Amino acid sequence: MLFTDLRHRLGRLGRQRRPTNAPADRLILPERRNGAAGAAPMISGNRAPRPSVGRLHTRTDSMTNLAHPDRLAKIEAMRAEGVDPYPARGVDATPIADLLARVGTPDEPGPAIGTTVTIAGRMLGLRDFGKLIFSPILDRTGRLQIGIKKDQMADWWPRRKWLDGGDLVGATGELAFTQKGEPTIWVTELQLLSKSVAAPPEKWHGLTDVEARYRRRYVDLWASEGVSEVFIKRSRAMSLTRRFLEDQGYLEVETPTLHPIAGGAAARPFITHHNALDADLYLRIAPELYLKRLIVGGMERVFEVSRNFRNEGLSTRHNPEFTMLELYEAQADYRRMMEIVEGLFELLATELNGTTDITFRGGDYSMKAPFQKLRYTDLFREHAGCEFDDETAVRAKAKELKLNHESDDYWKLMSDVFDETVEPHLSGPIFVTHYPVQISPLAKADPADPRLTERFEVFVACMELGNAFSELNDPAEQERRFEEQVASKDPESPGEVDVDYVQALEYGMPPTGGLGIGMDRLVMLLTGQDSIRDVLLFPAMRKLPTDQEETDETVAAGAASEGGA
């Protein structure tokens, strides 16, 4: 019975091939690998089953098979001499960038040269000259070399073999230039802050295996060039965005992530269950309907940086969870939202890159306002070759484009034709305005043409970055459109009318402009990253099966095939 329920649930969740999310009351075997890899080599010829090695592609790495035996042995040696490889306290260190800003050049030394300083960070490698060791140290701000000389560190010298590339250290000494002009701290005191027992990636190539980079971002961040810079820029973009809006009187708010009705966008939701309420809940696909309730509540200018969840495919532009900025402003309309987009894009490009010119996927784009504006209907006519509401012609075009006709919903088909014919031309930045009302259920109709809405989407590099409109605030009209959606039986439509939202509108929502921006994609543009995964610290990845799960699945697969279907 339970199994049937589970299958039912999974079916609704979409294309899941196996119940990886099944309640896992299976055993976890923590001691399984202990002592395996670090132990003496296997007796040759021994046919006993061997524990699996730490192979990223098929196994979850446990500590003991990632840890290097030599490094573990060093830890034992240290402890035997009373040295703690994982001391409780760090050191009071100066950010490396601060020092580098004050070193000057060998010909004109800066004020930091000749002073005694302390840095802390990761030793990226060791260059051992016998009686002299160089090692670059990396902290969050930059990289600076330390030099350790035998005659200067005589007492410590016998312990130098305890150090390995990847170790975290604190180093104190005088800052000076070497003969080759490299700023260097000549160490007088070196403290191990944490022993790295896992061997770091190859020093020249770094981590290039894309899967490994995503799964072990904590390595990628210091082992791969430019990675941490991307995420620093991302953080600054979020911070600048908040300040940009707050300076205009906006209030940042937080609305629910667990929704009783998945509304505010057309997307397949994730479903979860609240035990005490005994109710299914949806992970939010958009914060829109809650934010507009706050406009009804009189907050007038609100924004939320919201994590949204959509149970759909993954690609270089799609991750199951993504970050969207949504904002709503009373007394504003879609034109005001254009100003915000232009102002924000220009600000971020300038602040992060020092220029409004950006290069992305081999193309050059200017974030200088104002952006181009073209009407949806005109673009449709130009690229699809017919009027958007000429059903016969549009259906013929769809057939010509070999678009699937699974849905008999004309407006969905028309939208597909637009995507197919127009989007490839939207190098942008460009505002596409006045979308048809049938594909804009939350937007206010254009007073000049009720077939259209006061809505735009903003595109750069043929990629949709934002969506905005003058918000529909007529409760009767909103209810009618909701009912249309529900009646459509589209799997991406909400299953029921959000009555509470309609009631909110019944109290009266002022004329309001609303805007949503896909922040991950915006950061892609601003940092020149081709894939959304490169701007997400931890992009969605398939769970690596443990040995136990693999066994379970084999058994389950066998049972399933025996049971027939």
Binders of RNA among 65-84, rule CB under 7 A?
A: 68, 70
List 126, 232, 238, 486, residue binding RNA (CB under 7 A):
126
Determine, following the binding rule CB under 7 A, whether residue 57 of this chain makes contact with RNA. yes
Q: CB atoms < 10 A from the CB of 122, how many?
A: 21
Eight-state DSSP code of residue 438: G
List 23, 30, 35, 41, residue binding RNA (CB under 7 A):
41
Q: Is the peptide bond preceding residue 429 cis, with omega within 30 degrees of 0? A: yes
Size of the site for RNA (CB under 7 A): 85
Q: How far is the CB of 508 from RNA (least distance, A)?
A: 28
* Separation of alpha carbons 434 and 451, rounded Å: 9
Tokens of 466: 């934002």
CB 286 within 8 A of CB 328: no
Exposure on the CB side of residue 8, measured as CA atoms within 13 A: 5
User: In this chain, which stretch among 4-12, 99-107, 159-167, 287-295 interacts with RNA, using CB under 7 A?
Assistant: 159-167
Q: How far is the CB of 149 from RNA (least distance, A)?
A: 4
Range list of H helices, 182-319: 210-215, 217-223, 227-246, 288-296
CB 379 within 8 A of CB 388: no
Encoded one letter per residue, x for contact with RNA by CB under 7 A and - for no contact, window 451-490 reads: -------------x--x-----------------------
Question: Is 193 strand, coil or helix?
Answer: strand
Residue 242: phi and psi, rounded to 5, are -60, -45
Q: Which is nearer to RNA, 52 or 228 (CB)?
A: 52
Q: Which is nearer to RNA, 378 or 492 (CB)?
A: 492
173-191 burial, b at 16+ Cβ within 10 Å, e below that, comes to bebbbeeeeebbbbbeebb
CB 223 within 8 A of CB 200: yes
Range list of H helices, 385-438: 391-400, 410-421
Determine, following the binding rule CB under 7 A, whether residue 114 of this chain makes contact with RNA. no
User: In this chain, which stretch among 86-94, 225-233, 325-333, 411-419 interacts with RNA, using CB under 7 A?
Assistant: 411-419
Cα 528 → chain centroid: 15
Site for RNA in 286-345 (CB under 7 A): 310, 312-320, 322
User: In this chain, which stretch among 24-32, 142-150, 254-262, 376-384 interacts with RNA, using CB under 7 A?
Assistant: 142-150
Determine, following the binding rule CB under 7 A, whether residue 399 of this chain makes contact with RNA. no
Site for RNA in 489-528 (CB under 7 A): 492, 518, 520-521
User: In this chain, which stretch among 209-217, 249-257, 365-373, 506-514 interacts with RNA, using CB under 7 A?
Assistant: 209-217
Q: Which is nearer to RNA, 152 or 350 (CB)?
A: 152
Q: Which is nearer to RNA, 84 or 202 (CB)?
A: 202
Determine, following the binding rule CB under 7 A, whether residue 199 of this chain makes contact with RNA. yes
